[in-house]
Amino acid sequence: MNRGLIVSCQALPEEPLHSSFIMSRMALAAEMAGAVGIRANSVADITEIQKTVKLPIIGIIKQNYPDHKAYITPTRKELDALLGLNIDVIALDATVNADTALLRSLKKEFPHQKFMADIATADEALRAAEEFGFDFVGTTLTGYTEQSKGLINFDVLHAIVGRLQVPIVAEGNFDTPEKARRALEAGAYAVVVGGAITRPQLIAKKFVEEMKKAVK
């Protein structure tokens, strides 16, 4: 995984672009633009993207369980499905909501597979790198968990840069080219951008909301 932009190509079932074929074309567009990697969700989407681009892939499976607060590759079932895809990096929720036993077993059982920790706080980042041995740490869940409410993505990024021996991936609301550049300048190895590139309903909504402010 080179230093630079990673494009998250995801569309959930309720979204208009929910389609493995469409996500593969999104990935191709990202590759043509110069992205260094793709983050993708589900076996179907990842399989289609693998056929279309040669970029490294960070794979996840989002799955909600009634007894789990974690939803990004939360159990061994999702992990096993991703291990069968031969992808470069597998990302898992590594917040305090995650299954500690699962996180602790990863590098022991699969020493040659690269893993990325999706964290929300600086303490979780340190735990993921030092205790669990993750290869990458991403600020993916900052602001989305109970323990990180009110935290700002750049604050967490600044808090962990220089304290980890593994590459840091800035992810989560780095939604403009300027923010992505600032994240690299702050010490991030790579930046994941999703909705600002691949969710047209959100992009269009920004235009609509701003245009409503026009003085007639």
Residue 101 lies in a domain: yes
Q: Is residue 54 part of a domain?
A: yes
In the block, tokens 């700002």 appear at 152
**In angstroms, how far is CA 111 from the centroid of its own chain?**
21
Average pLDDT, integer, range 99-111: 96
CATH code of the domain covering residue 197: 3.20.20.70
Q: How far is CA 169 from CA 137, 160, 210, in A?
A: 6, 11, 30
- Count of domains observed in the chain: 1
Average pLDDT of the chain is: 96
In a domain, 137, yes or no: yes
pLDDT recorded at residue 1:
81
Residue 3 reports pLDDT greater than 80: yes
- What is the DSSP secondary structure assignment for residue 173, as one 8-state letter? S
The arithmetic mean of pLDDT across residues 177-201, rounded, is 97
pLDDT at 64: 94
In a domain, 20, yes or no: yes
Tell me if 216 is assigned to some domain: no
Domain assignment of residue 83, given as a range = 4-211
59 assigned to some structural domain = yes
Q: What pTM value is reported for the model?
A: 0.95
pLDDT band at 159 (very low <50, low <70, confident <90, very high): very high
Whole-number pLDDT of residue 52: 98
- Report yes or no: 45 and 9 within 8 Å, Cβ to Cβ: yes
pLDDT digits (tens, 9 = 90+) for 14-65: 999 999 999 999 999 999 999 999 999 999 999 999 999 999 999 999 999 9
Question: Using an 8 Å Cβ cutoff, are 61 and 42 in contact?
Answer: yes
